[in-house]
Structure 1
């Protein structure tokens, strides 16, 4: 009786028994004591709904005494329970089905790309003969063609050119002895050397990024470098065949011409990348901050 006579105050809405109403339902769901142990039933339900919407798997507990609330739900009828079971089963099965469908689409896409690459290099009739006679081997080997082409992205052909440019610059742009301390480190205020600029990140950022959904991410500045590298790697056979037929068409062996065309394409790509890196570092060396106020 003493608990009913004490002044109650809801710790959520901070309203008390000043204006009691017959529609107000008070509950005491935890081990808290005092006037703040009471809470309106409707306020508690709203508070629980907000927490469950943010943290569905987190147990609901009192923020003061950390007592976990015992939430009782009315039992479902058989029809509702059947619908819930079907929904839970679909939620468990559908991700696996979707992953299998995406894997099948990716597999057939890689097989198709590998077959088109074989047609470009070997020829149409020879590729059809190979597919009819060695079906199992072709189904295993063809998907590895685009995978191998994508691995060529990690072959940095521009590194030898950049190393040569670094050696050439170091002969003309070494720091003077008066700019170094006893340990050979640059003094404060000394000009920046080649080692500092060589460690700068690339102008267009890394080529490998995490794939995310959304047009804003796909067409962002960070994704353009990765997309360009992806397309160039997959187009290597086409450029190899084109250069093999035009530049090395006089060679009697067709496959040797295609091989030399691919090497030439990689060399041109590496040389262009090295030149762009060199030009970017030269621009970084020549940057300055203009003085706004003349002293």
Structure 2
């Protein structure tokens, strides 16, 4: 007989231990115990409890272990429980970290918008349960609000009623190549989804989280005469959204018209191609 792993025969090593672990017959019936152990180790890849079957007849190998002592049995059981509970514990830690990060961000945002002293006073007088529920919703609402792309709705309305908005071409100068609104386009270009790539998603996330800071800065610059921090921040946020939206609408319409007027040129004839190449 010969080993189907190392192809050695019983005459090569008479002291080797042999085993027939499956239903195979013929040349694949017998195998060295040591060779099969190494092969099983390769298949299990460190997981001693993984099942291994014969590659020819698919019969599962009967693998037994020596009996464990009480201490080793308890330790082995604890190790298995930890291995199974590890992913759930990691997920819980991740969710908890995100939650408390959102709570901290919400508290900082309240103090930034209302004012440091006023914000602390409001949170000290508020119900703790309300804070634990309300503060983490602040970043969530900011992200959801950032996902509302109101500029796209404005663009659709303008394109739909473009014939009535011819006056806008005189408001936006610099349209030498094509008019901004009101002129027919040769084709309707395809527009990508706002969340089609991870870059847009990260821009939405970062823009939403930094919005309270921007609103506070714009409010101090444009509405310094307003005494209330809350009112000044709200006015600053509205002004920033309006100004940024106007520029974004203008920019997207320019991209839209540029794509609509795109042309594909004819491929030059062979003589023209050769002449231009020789000239170069």
Give the structure-1-normalised TM-score. Answer: 0.69
Distance in 2, matches of 1:275 and 1:48, equals 66
Q: Is the 8 A contact 1:157 1:267 kept in 2?
A: no
Q: Cα deviations across residues 169-198 of structure 1 (Å, max 9, x unaligned)?
A: 684224xxxxxxxxxxxxxxxxxx21xx23
| Structure 2 partner of 1:173 | 185
Structure 2 CA distance for partners of 1:18 and 1:165, relative to 1, 3 Å: farther
TM superposition shift of 1:29: 1.1
Distance in 1, matches of 2:255 and 2:233, equals 33
| Structure 1 partner of 2:109 | 117
Moved more, 163-172 or 284-293: 284-293
Q: Is the 8 A contact 2:112 2:216 kept in 1?
A: yes
Structure 2 CA distance for partners of 1:54 and 1:160, relative to 1, 3 Å: farther
Q: Secondary structure at the match of 1:10?
A: coil
Counterpart among 131, 135, 142 of residue 138 in structure 1: 131
Structure 2 CA distance for partners of 1:95 and 1:61, relative to 1, 3 Å: closer
Q: Establish whether residue 78 from structure 1 lines up as the match of residue 79 from structure 2.
A: no
Distance in 2, matches of 1:283 and 1:19, equals 80
Alignment of 1:73-112 (within 5 A): 73-112=65-104
| Structure 1 partner of 2:142 | 149
Structure 2 CA distance for partners of 1:261 and 1:10, relative to 1, 3 Å: same
Structure 2 CA distance for partners of 1:236 and 1:26, relative to 1, 3 Å: same
| Structure 2 partner of 1:158 | 151
Moved more, 25-34 or 82-91: 82-91
- Listed as ranges, the gaps of 5+ residues in structure 2 are 163-180, 275-280
| Structure 1 partner of 2:213 | 238
TM superposition shift of 1:71: 0.7
Distance in 2, matches of 1:198 and 1:57, equals 54
Q: Cα deviations across residues 96-129 of structure 1 (Å, max 9, x unaligned)?
A: 5544444443333222221221112222232222
Coordinate RMSD, CA, aligned: 3.5
Q: Secondary structure at the match of 1:235?
A: helix
Structure 2 CA distance for partners of 1:253 and 1:77, relative to 1, 3 Å: closer
Distance in 1, matches of 2:252 and 2:49, equals 50
Distance in 2, matches of 1:230 and 1:49, equals 46
Distance in 2, matches of 1:172 and 1:119, equals 51
Q: Is the 8 A contact 2:22 2:54 kept in 1?
A: yes
TM superposition shift of 1:201: 5.0
Structure 2 CA distance for partners of 1:11 and 1:280, relative to 1, 3 Å: farther
Give the structure-2-normalised TM-score. Answer: 0.72
Distance in 2, matches of 1:99 and 1:25, equals 47
Distance in 1, matches of 2:221 and 2:103, equals 28
Counterpart among 243, 254, 260 of residue 235 in structure 2: 260
Q: Is the 8 A contact 1:248 1:260 kept in 2?
A: yes
| Structure 1 partner of 2:175 | none
Count of paired positions = 250
Q: Establish whether residue 47 from structure 1 lines up as the match of residue 59 from structure 2.
A: no
Q: Establish whether residue 198 from structure 1 lines up as the match of residue 190 from structure 2.
A: yes
Q: Is the 8 A contact 2:2 2:27 kept in 1?
A: yes
Distance in 2, matches of 1:43 and 1:26, equals 9
